[in-house]
């Protein structure tokens, strides 16, 4: 379908000047951006009403179906949150649970302007089915560990070959849950698979001080990034979620290896895990992406809140109000994530995916419009999202969802499954 979104203020990228104009889409791809083209005949035309049109957001780290656990593992430190609450419930998850939990998260994604996400969870066919309903870009990230009761390398081979050729809106990253849940042989085997296939890897990394300290004790003083590097895990580059306790040597190593840190400020704050050294990463030439983590630990998937925290936590940590300006937060929430995951998006440019979000500039929190970029990061929230377009498909429009399932069915299914999982995990 040919789509024309006109009468918009265009935020083409984090740095380019704002301009008035239109976005033209054909077959899910941006074919024009800026001044009108009288030669373009659209099947559907939408008046943007002078509002802000920008790239859709990329959530570069989440566990979507953990939306089922929202509100039942709160006010706990990470180790108790994970081992006492989350793991006992996860033992009972079914493929249908994953589908409906992911659908709930997909609904929240499109309401929030998220058009691309990286998911590390179970039953990936169900995750893909849910993401496909809303035409979202999806990076599937293997999160296996030494407790997994299947042949992990065979699992990686099967899924890497399947999902790497399935669609230009799907990617697959071999990887592991974390250093502390994986033995050395498993990490080395996955590193060998990545080397043979030319794939980037994905892992949780240096999320807590406890994790880093115990890793150095186990591995002769090596931090998690240093230990994984020793085993060749990042030889083709990759992504690392959290990096909360990456020191200057770790940051230099991540830069050397071509690893993108994915910052999850909201989740790390709620679990009291710490504040990632974003300013130091930027100074070293790294380009972090943004993630929300799962809804059991965040508990929201708001790119606006994550942009705010990405910038403001650094201002406080460094006692420098000029640290990590709004433009850096926008870049982390859009272009960096898309690029790190291997998708053509994150900016409004010809040839990119037609993934876009329309932001309401008429709302009180966007006035006065002194600097729209600053307002976007420091003032806006998900209520400002008017419309979300994923691959040229309008998946959210002012309260109307086109995501393959009704909200009523999603809510009913998720509440029923939540209740069952709590009973099976032996806490109510």
- Let me know if residue 414 belongs to a domain: no
Residue 249 lies in a domain: yes
pLDDT at 78: 79
Please identify, among 315, 341, 367, the residue that sits at the C-terminal boundary of a domain: 341
- 317 and 393 share one domain: no
Same domain flag for 175 and 240: yes
Same domain for 264 and 248: yes
Q: Is residue 283 one of the residues assigned to a domain?
A: yes
Residue 388 is assigned to a structural domain of this protein: yes
Predicted pLDDT of residue 126: 98
Does 372 lie in the same domain as 295?
no
Please, what is the Cα angle at 183 between 69 and 259, to 5 degrees?
A: 75
Q: Is residue 364 domain-shared with residue 231, that is, in the same domain?
A: no
Q: Is residue 352 part of a domain?
A: yes
What pLDDT is recorded for position 392? Answer: 98
Same domain? 258 vs 285: yes
Count of CA atoms in the C-beta half-sphere (13 A) of 292: 29
- In this structure, what are the phi and psi dihedrals at residue 366, rounded to the nearest 5 degrees? -105, 10
CB-based burial label for 83 (10 Å; 0-12, 13-18, 19+): exposed
Closest alpha carbon to 243 in 213, 217, 274, 266: 274
Alpha-carbon gap, residue 217 to 315, rounded angstroms: 33
When divided into structural domains, the chain yields a total of 2
Is position 291 within any domain? Answer: yes
> Domain of 328?
57-341
In a domain, 413, yes or no: no
| pLDDT at 79 (0 to 100) | 83
Which CATH number fits the domain that encloses residue 181? 3.20.20.140
Binned average pLDDT, 10 residues per bin, the chain of 428 residues: 97 97 98 96 98 98 97 86 89 97 98 98 97 98 91 95 94 96 97 97 97 98 98 98 98 98 97 96 98 95 98 98 98 98 98 98 97 98 98 98 98 97 84
Within this chain, do residues 21 and 66 fall inside the same structural domain, yes or no? no
Summarised one tens digit per residue, pLDDT across range 101-132 is 999 999 999 999 999 999 999 999 999 999 99
User: Which CATH number fits the domain that encloses residue 37?
Assistant: 2.30.40.10
Residues 259 and 127 in one domain: yes
In the three-class reduction of DSSP (H, G, I as helix; E, B as strand; rest coil), residue 138 is classed as strand
Q: Which structure tokens are listed for 63?
A: 């566990």
Q: Where does 92-178 have alpha helices with state H?
A: 95-112, 124-133, 152-163
How do residues 358-417 score in pLDDT, each as one tens digit? 999 999 999 999 999 999 999 999 999 999 999 999 999 999 999 999 999 999 999 999
Q: Does the model's pTM come out above 0.95?
A: yes
195 neighbors 236 (Cβ within 8 angstroms) = yes
């Amino acid at each position: 379908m040919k789509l024309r979104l006109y009468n918009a203020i265009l935020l083409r990228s984090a740095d380019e000047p704002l301009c008035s104009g239109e976005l033209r889409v054909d077959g899910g791809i941006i074919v024009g951006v800026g001044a009108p083209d009288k030669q373009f005949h659209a099947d559907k035309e939408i008046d943007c009403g002078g509002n802000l049109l920008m790239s859709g957001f990329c959530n570069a780290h989440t566990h979507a179906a953990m939306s089922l656990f929202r509100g039942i593992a709160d006010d706990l430190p990470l180790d108790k949150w994970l081992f006492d609450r989350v793991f006992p419930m996860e033992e009972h998850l079914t493929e249908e649970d994953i589908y409906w939990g992911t659908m709930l998260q997909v609904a929240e994604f499109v309401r929030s302007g998220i058009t691309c996400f990286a998911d590390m969870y179970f039953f990936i066919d169900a995750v893909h089915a849910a993401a496909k309903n809303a035409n979202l870009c999806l990076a599937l990230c293997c999160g296996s560990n030494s407790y997994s009761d299947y042949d992990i390398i065979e699992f990686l081979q099967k899924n890497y070959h399947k999902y790497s050729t399935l669609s230009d809106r799907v990617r697959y990253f071999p990887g592991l849950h974390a250093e502390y849940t994986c033995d050395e042989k498993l990490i080395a085997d996955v590193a060998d698979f990545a080397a043979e296939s030319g794939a980037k890897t994905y892992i949780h990394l240096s999320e807590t001080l406890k994790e880093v300290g115990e890793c150095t004790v186990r591995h002769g003083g090596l931090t998690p990034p240093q230990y994984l590097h020793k085993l060749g895990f990042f030889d083709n580059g990759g992504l690392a979620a959290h990096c909360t306790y990456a020191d200057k040597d770790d940051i230099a190593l991540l830069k050397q290896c071509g690893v993108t840190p994915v910052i999850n400020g909201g989740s790390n704050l709620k679990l009291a895990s710490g504040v990632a050294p974003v300013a130091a990463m930027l100074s070293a030439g790294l380009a972090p992406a943004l993630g929300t983590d799962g809804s059991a630990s965040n508990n929201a998937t708001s790119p606006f809140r994550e942009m705010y925290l990405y910038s403001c936590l650094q201002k406080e940590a460094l006692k420098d109000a000029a640290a990590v300006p709004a433009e850096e937060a926008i870049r982390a929430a859009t272009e960096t994530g898309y690029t790190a995951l291997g998708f053509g998006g994150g900016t409004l440019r010809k040839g990119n995916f037609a993934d876009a979000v329309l932001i309401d500039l008429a709302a009180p929190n966007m006035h006065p419009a002194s600097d729209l970029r600053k307002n976007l990061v420091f003032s806006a929230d998900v209520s400002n999202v008017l419309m979300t377009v994923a691959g040229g498909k309008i998946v959210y429009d002012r309260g109307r969802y086109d995501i393959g399932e009704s909200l009523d069915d999603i809510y009913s299914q998720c509440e029923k499954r939540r209740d069952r999982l709590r009973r099976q995990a032996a806490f109510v």
